[in-house]
Every structure is written in C-alpha cells, then in structure tokens.
Amino acid sequence: MAFVGAAYAGAAAWVGDRAFWSPDSSIRHVQLVSLLRERYEDVAAVYPGAWLDPEARFYPVSKGFAAPRDGKVYLLYPPFFPALVAPLFQAAGRAGLVRGTLERCGIAEGGVPSW
C-alpha cells in the first residue's frame, strides 16, 4: 500500500497541474474552456477538428460522454459547475479551479465542511 501511495505522490509531483486525474475533470475543463471561448452563448464543446471531422466520429471524448448533433458536440454533464468556476479560472488559472471546487462544495480551510 505504501508503494501505491508513493507512486501516486511521485506521479502527482512529476505531472503537477498539467494533467487531469479523472475523465470528469477533463470533460468539465473542456466545458469551461468552451463556455469562455463562446462567451457563454453556446454550451456545445469547442471542437477544433470539426472542419476535418464534421460528424465528430473521432472526437476525443468517448460516446458515453459526448453527443454529436447538428455539427456540434454536446458533453453530457450539465454546464452549471463550469459556469460557476469560470471567473476563478480566469483570475487564477487551474489553481482557481481547485480553490473554487473547495469553496463551492462548502469545504473551508483545513478540509472541514463549512455547512
């Protein structure tokens, strides 16, 4: 068990904030970036390869999490959380996402729930 913990700690130190640790986080990040690029006018995911793949057959998110429709790709998570943390992301980058997640989940400093 100590080896597994050390492996995770080493991977986290090596990768830092350049990677996501779950599909949920990466999909919500795509939603966040898409909302900002579209200035909150469209909830469809930005797909730079749409000119080459208009049916989104090769979209990098699995079909269980993405739904191509009318030339756009919609991610199956509601966009509310990405919209809530967008100002923090704009102000502090990915560090703002961590802080925003903790604050919006009601977790105060020290990891204690604040509700």
Sign of CA dihedral 88, 94, 20, 68: positive
The 8-class DSSP code of residue 76 comes to S
Which among 70, 61, 1, 71 is positioned nearest to 31, based on CA atoms?
61
- Give pLDDT, residue 104: 57
Q: What is the pLDDT of residues 50-98, one digit of tens each?
A: 889 888 888 888 778 888 888 888 998 899 988 988 888 888 887 777 6
CB of 36 within 8 A of CB of 82? no
- Give pLDDT, residue 36: 94
- The helix (run of H) or strand (run of E) holding residue 68 is strand 66-69
- Give pLDDT, residue 103: 59
**Distance, first Cα to last Cα, the chain:** 33
Quote the pTM value.
Answer: 0.68
Q: What is the percentage of the chain residues whose pLDDT exceeds 90?
A: 16
Q: What is the percentage of the chain residues whose pLDDT exceeds 70?
A: 69
